[in-house]
Each structure stands twice: as structure tokens, then as C-alpha cells.
Amino acid sequence: MKILAIDASGLVASVSILEDDKMVGEYTLNHTRNHSVTLLPLVDALIQATDSKPEDFDYIALAGGPGSFTGLRIGAATAKGLAFSWKKPIISVPTIDALCYNVFGVEGIVCPILDARRNQTYTGIYRFEEKDGESTLLTIDEQKACDINSLIERLNELGEKVTFLGDGVPVFKDTIDEKLKVEHRYAPAHQSRQRASSVGMLAFRYAKEGKIEDTFTHRPIYLRETQAERERKMREGK
């Protein structure tokens, strides 16, 4: 099974090609957020560098969200365009789940945090569980948008050692260090940002589970309504 994976959900633009047990290639840029200019050239360069043929791909995997609204849409529109012409299915992998795969197998709780502005974070709580000699990702709290303080409260409640990663780390580190009572650490730079290969690895699992979308059905997972929708609901007292 061969997968082209894309992640444009945050500051990083990342593309990867994976085949069965092999990560064939990955280009990851964490430089400027200009995905509309960089993403497709990265896809093209990787396809050429790996002598890949579009007909060989079984799936296009995508970090489906949450993340930057614009980034998610550039990723989604790009994946949809490829899927449209190549007639390939799309696998949408939750961004936060994919981030966990960057630190596969660590002990204790894994807690990716993305900066969602105004003290909010896109986050989730996970653990790698050893079972029959294999490590699998277990979701404790599914990905969601929440206030950083309520996340810290929840982690204090769980009382386990935590590994943080994601672009929310530089934003929330001081708050976490001040308020989190349990032992915690931060993933190093090479593991701390979105990687398309992590998206691709989880996509293999989704493919087996039949969680498959296509160019017509895929929608980004924003986890948040637009401001206009929220304000309208407030006005209408809903």
C-alpha cells in the first residue's frame, strides 16, 4: 500500500510518501507559512525524487484538522485536486492524533497543543499502551478546542507524567510550568511540529479501518464555528 501524505495544518508544510513498512521520502518546511506557494512544488519535487507514479498511490492522506483555517483549506483543496484528477480516495487524519505519532512509544501522557489564539488550544490527551509486545495509540480525551487552563486542570487531575509538543508549546510553556503540578517535559524540535510521515503512518491504520473519504466528501475538521456563526447564535439566544 502506497500513500502520499500532506500536512499544511500549521506553520509547517510537509509532504511524505510511504509504502508499507517504508517511509520512502519526506519534505518538511518549517520556515515561512506560505503554503499556497510551497506545498504543491514540494509534492512535485518529492514525487520526482522518489520516481513515484501517481497510479501507484492507493490513498492521499491529509492532516484533516484542527489547525490554521487557511492552512487546512490549502491542504484540503490541494488534496482534493490531486484526488480529483488521479481518482484516488482521501484519508483525513486528525492533526492532533498525527502529532502524537511524532513521539511514538513515550511513557505517560502525550499532549499535543496547538495555538488557537486567545488562550485557546487545540489539544487532546493520549497514551501509548503496550499490548502483546506492540505499542498502540490510545485516546484518553479526543482532540478538541479548549482553554489552556482547563487543559492544565484536567492533566493535574489525571496526575501522570506528560510530554507536550506542538506549536502551542512556545506560547503556553510559561503557563504550563507555573500551573501544572505533575512532572512534564517538552519534545525536542525535530519531533515537536507536524510531520506528513506521521499522518501517513496513521493513515495505514485508517485505511484498514475503512475510514475513507474522497474528493467530494472531505471537509476540514475546524473544531470551531466561524466567529460570525457564533455571534449569530448568541444574538438569537441559541
Partner 1 sequence: MLILGIESSCDETAAAVVEDGRVLKSNVISTQIPIHTLYGGVVPEIASRKHVERISQVVDKALSDASVTLDDIDCVGVTYGPGLVGPLLVGTSFAKSMAYAAKKPLVGVHHIEGHISANYLEHPDLKPPFLCLIVSGGHTHLVRVKDYGEYDILGRTVDDAAGEAFDKVARAIGLGYPGGPKVEKISYEGDCDAIEFPQAKVSDHPYDFSFSGLKSAVLNYLNAEKMKGNEINRADVAASFQKSVVESLVKRAEMAIEEFGTDTFAIAGGVSSNGVFRAAMEEMCAKHNVRFVAPSPILCTDNGAMIASAAYYDYQKGYRSGLDLNAIPNLKLGER
Contact footprint for partner 1 (CB under 8 A) = 34, 36-41, 43-44, 54, 69-70, 73-74, 76-86, 215-216, 219-220, 222, 226-229, 232
Least distance in angstroms from the C-beta of 92 to partner 1: 12
Nearer to partner 1, 35 or 184 (CB): 35
* Contact yes or no for 145/116 (Cβ under 8 A): yes
Going edge to edge, which strands form the sheet with 134-147?
134-147, 120-131, 109-115, 162-165, 184-186
Q: Phi, psi (5° rounding) for residue 110? A: -105, 130
Nearer to partner 1, 162 or 199 (CB): 199
Least distance in angstroms from the C-beta of 123 to partner 1: 22
Least distance in angstroms from the C-beta of 222 to partner 1: 7
Nearer to partner 1, 185 or 233 (CB): 233
Q: Phi, psi (5° rounding) for residue 134? A: -120, 145
Going edge to edge, which strands form the sheet with 13-19?
22-29, 13-19, 2-7, 59-65, 90-94
Nearer to partner 1, 31 or 232 (CB): 232
